[in-house]
Structure 1
């Protein structure tokens, strides 16, 4: 089975979260349209941290209804946020190869996108015969499925009630670099 993954990040204190919405090709269209329906008129994207609490609850309930799955990669930032990100991204890329991943879309960080490309290329070069994975960066307003990752990363990082509410969406939490 081929899958697509859509990635965004969050940081809470010294913990870095990289969330990957894992989507089967047959579900791409319905998930995108379901997410677009959640926008207010004139709104270009969902960015969970900018929403009011009541709206967050509504949005998360709707995302749970959509039946999405998001895996969250978690690392500490003791040696820097960028290092934590690249460790999480390398593990995600390896996991996508195991899943026969077809496409990886990351929320663009503009001038730092080249760091992600270097990490992904390094992983793919280790497994050239297995890899058909293509990757790209794009703005979150261009790809609604990035919003799933944004919501899951935010909720996981917030913990407590938010993590409980998001639990039906979270496929797994992969902890890297933890004692």
Structure 2
């Protein structure tokens, strides 16, 4: 299975979430078109935190109907956000190698992207014969498929009805320990 992964994150209390939307290369164009079609005139990107509850319901319903899928990685973080993120990212990278993923796109965090690059390189270095994974950081305004991960991360972290609505999108939940 060759997939592309689009990653965003969220923090809820003492839990750090890394969400990877997994997209088959054949579905890239279709899902990007769907997401772009959900924008209001003049809107550059969907950012779930900024959307109204009515829009959130519409977006999640559209993603469920489209068959979008995501994996969620959770880690306790306390005050160690970066350590928790990197533990999740290392596990995610290993899982992407198992899936024979071709591309990993992470939502850019500007000067903190270097931490991700270091973690990904270290993880890929442990499996050099399987390291055909390319990766890059982009902003949500440049890659619509990051919006899927953003929506799932927000809903998963919000819990309750939002968690229930996003549950069909979550193919796998992985608890990562040893990060705090």
Name the TM tier (shorter chain): over 0.9
CA distance in structure 2 between the partners assigned to 1:3 and 1:24 by the alignment: 5
Q: Which runs of 4+ in 1 moved over 3 A?
A: none
Which residue does the alignment assign to 1:100?
100
The aligned residue for residue 49 of structure 1 is 49
Matched residue SS, 1:101: coil
- CA drift at 1:128: 0.5
SS at match of 1:17: strand
Render the CA deviation track for 1:98-156: whole Å, top value 9, x for unaligned.
00010000000000000000000000000101110000000101000000000000000
What is the CA-CA distance between 1:79 and the residue it aligns to? 5.3
| 2:3 alignment counterpart | 3
Q: Which residue of 2 aligns with 1:89?
A: 89
Q: Secondary structure at the residue paired with 1:167?
A: helix
Q: Which residue number in structure 1 is paired with residue 136 of structure 2?
A: 136
* Alignment TM-score, normalising by the size of structure 1: 0.97
* Separation (CA, whole Å) in 2 of partners of 1:172 and 1:4: 16
3-state DSSP of counterpart to 2:72: strand
The within-5 A match list for 1:50-69 is 50-69=50-69
2:146 aligned partner: 146
- Could you say what secondary structure the match of 2:163 adopts? helix
Please give the TM-score of this superposition, normalised by the length of structure 2: 0.97
| Aligned-partner Cα distance in 1 for 2:66–2:42 | 22
Point out where structure 1 has 5 or more consecutive residues left out of the alignment.
none
SS of the residue 1:140 aligns to:
coil
1:159 corresponding residue in structure 2: 159
The corresponding residue for 2:174 is 174
